[in-house]
Chains A and B, each alone.
Chain A
C-alpha cells in the first residue's frame, strides 16, 4: 500500500475521512462537559421513570439549530449553560460609524452586554448590531428595534470561512500549477486529486454546454465557483459549524455574478431571442418579450434558492436527527440517531458535490445560451 508508507499522510487522510463523523457532535453542545451533563440527566430520568422536561429540551434544540443557521459575530464551539462560559474565540468587529470602528466581539460578551467604543455604545441583538445609549436599551416598534444600525463590515464566522477557503484554494491550486512546471506536465501531491476534477469541469461541463470555441474565457469563473461551493459545502459538514453556502447573501452574490457574466458576454442572438423572438407571429412577440426578460432574472434566482435551500435543509435535518438523541435519552434512540446521522452525513457529502456540480453546470448552460450561434431562422424556440 502506498499510503501506509507515509504514516503522517495516512493519519491526515484518516482524519479528513472521519470528519463528517465528528460533525455529528456539532449540533448539540459538543463538549464532554455537556455530554456528561446529559448522561447525568438520563440517569436521573431513568431513576424517576419519566422524561425530564422533554419540551424544554426540544425548545433548546430548536434554538440551537436556528442559531447555527445564522451568521455569528463570534466563533465558539460550545457554551456551558450553567457557568455561562463560551468556548471559542472572538472575531473582530468593523463598523462604519463616522469613520471605521474596530474592536473585538468579546466586548459584547456573547450579546449579553453593551459594548463601548470611542464613546459610542453598541448592542448585539439577534446578530445585528444597533447603536444605543449607555443603558443599551433598544426602542422596539412592532417587535423590530428602530435604533440606528451602523454599516457592518465585521469579520463574521461566514467571512472567516470564506477567507479560509480562499486561502486554501489559493495554496492548493497554485501548488498544482507550479507542479506542472516542475514535474514536466504531471501533477504532484494533492494536485493529483484535483486534476481530474478540473478536467471534468472542462470536458463535461464547459465544453458541451458552451462550445469548443468559446469555453476558454469562462473556465476560470466556472472552476472558481465549482471549487468555492464544493469546499464551502464540505466545510459546512465539519464540526466547526460553518454554514456559509446555507446563507442567502452568499448564494445571492454567486448568482448575481453568474447573471452579470451572462448578461455582459451575451451576443446579439441572445438578445434577439429575448426581445424579438424569431419564428413566431408578431402579436406573440409582444407577449413573449416580457416573459423572456423575466426568465433571465428567474434563472439566477433559482440558482440562489437551490443552493441555499439544499444546504439549509441538509443542516437542519442532520441536526434535528442528532437532536433526537437528547430527546429520547435512551441507548436505542441514541444508536438509531447515530446511525441515521452517519448515513445522512454520507448523503450530505454527495449533496455537497452535486450542488457544486449543478450550480456550475447551470451557469455554463446559461453562458452557453448567451453565446449560441445563429443556426436557422425557424428555430423551434
Chain B
C-alpha cells in the first residue's frame, strides 16, 4: 500500500465513523425523548448506518 492510499483509507474511516456516530447519537437523543418509539428509531438508524457503511466499504475497496 502506498502512502496516499493509506491516507485515503484513513479519511474514509474518519468520514464513515463521524457519520455513523452522528446517526447513533441522534438515535440515542430520539429514544431518550420518546422511548415508546425506540423500535422504529432503531430500524431507521440501522438502515441509515448500513447505507453509510456501504459507501464506506465501496470507497475502501475502490
Contacts and interface: CB of A to CB of B under 8 A. Distances in A.
B50 A306 contact: yes
A361 B54 contact: no
A358 B50 CA distance: 7
Interface in A296-354: 301-303, 305-306, 309-310, 354
B55 interface: yes
B18 interface: no
Contacts of A306: 50, 53-54, 57
Q: Is the interface of A mostly helix, strand, loop or mixed?
A: helix
Interface residues of B, number: 13
Nearest to A303: B54
B1 to A, nearest CB: 13
Contacts of A303: 54
A365 B54 CA distance: 16
A152 B46 CA distance: 39
A354 B58 CA distance: 19
B46 A302 contact: no
A373 interface: no
Contacts of B47: 358, 361-362, 365
Contacts of A302: 51, 54-55, 58
Given A204-B43, A361-B46, A305 B51 contact: no
A196 to B, nearest CB: 15
Contacts of A204: 39, 43
Nearest to B57: A309
Given A302-B51, A302-B55, A306-B54, A358 B61 contact: no
Contacts of A301: 58
B44 to A, nearest CB: 11
A357 interface: yes
Contacts of B60: 309
B4 to A, nearest CB: 21
B46 A305 contact: no
| Of listed B55, B57, B61, residue having the most chain A CB within 10 A | B57
Nearest to A306: B54
A309 B51 contact: no
A362 B58 contact: no
Contact of A309 (B39, B43, B46, B61): B61
A243 B25 CA distance: 33
Contacts of B43: 204, 208, 361
A305 B50 contact: no
A301 B51 CA distance: 11
Contacts of B51: 302
A284 B46 CA distance: 32
A357 B58 contact: no
A148 to B, nearest CB: 30
A309 B62 CA distance: 12
B29 to A, nearest CB: 22
Contacts of B57: 305-306, 309-310
A310 B39 CA distance: 24
A204 B42 CA distance: 11
B46 A357 contact: yes
A357 B45 CA distance: 13
30 contacts: A204-B39, A204-B43, A208-B43, A302-B51, A302-B54, A302-B55, A302-B58, A303-B54, A305-B54, A305-B57, A305-B58, A305-B61, A306-B53, A306-B54, A306-B57, A309-B57, A309-B60, A309-B61, A310-B53, A310-B57, A354-B46, A357-B46, A358-B47, A358-B50, A361-B43, A361-B46, A361-B47, A362-B47, A362-B50, A365-B47
Interface of A: 204, 208, 301-303, 305-306, 309-310, 354, 357-358, 361-362, 365
Interface of B: 39, 43, 46-47, 50-51, 53-55, 57-58, 60-61
Q: What are the 3 tightest A-B residue pairs by CB atom distance, in nearest-first order?
A: A302-B54, A309-B57, A306-B54
Given A301-B58, A310-B53, A358-B46, 5 more contacts: A208-B43, A302-B51, A305-B61, A354-B46, A361-B47
